[in-house]
Amino acid sequence: MRVHIATDHAGLELSAHLQEHLAAAGYDVVDHGPKEYDAEDDYPGFCIDAAKAVVADQQAGIEALGIVLGGSGNGEQIAANKVHGIRAALAWNLNTARLARQHNDANVVAVGGRQHSLPEATEIIEAFLAEPFSGAERHVRRIAQIAEFEANGTIAAH
């Protein structure tokens, strides 16, 4: 599986750790930056680039997911969710990471680098990457409603 990763300055240490850890575990890791610490960096571009790459890979039939990191993960999740076709979820424990995949078929996970130790954050990311989408009809239906709204601004009766 290909994993696209992006961060801001607050997640840089976690990003470097995850890139090494995930590559050693056999993932094809693509770093979308930043490459060096800058306390004034602007994370939206990095996160949007990673999200766009996830969509492009998935459309090309390549198994791919994304990781966006920051101090809290909130802004990074918001930025990634602006990319058409992205369902980014903020995960703060193993359950939210797994449910993001199981129920929402999330294709990007956001984690706050200042909220977890390296081992905790790594475990959350591993749980997200390993968990399959359930494919349950109710989840497929709900995801389709979100995609419909994203595409044309309307949603089926609910």
Cα–Cα nearest to 5, from 53, 37, 71, 74? 53
Could you give the residue numbers annotated as active site?
76, 103
Cα 146 to the chain's mean position, in Å?
A: 17
Cα–Cα nearest to 125, from 13, 19, 10, 8? 19
Radius of gyration of the chain (CA): 15
CA distance 102 to 96: 10
Angle between helices 118-130 and 12-24 (to 10 degrees): 50
DSSP assigned state of 4? E
CA distance 119 to 17: 10
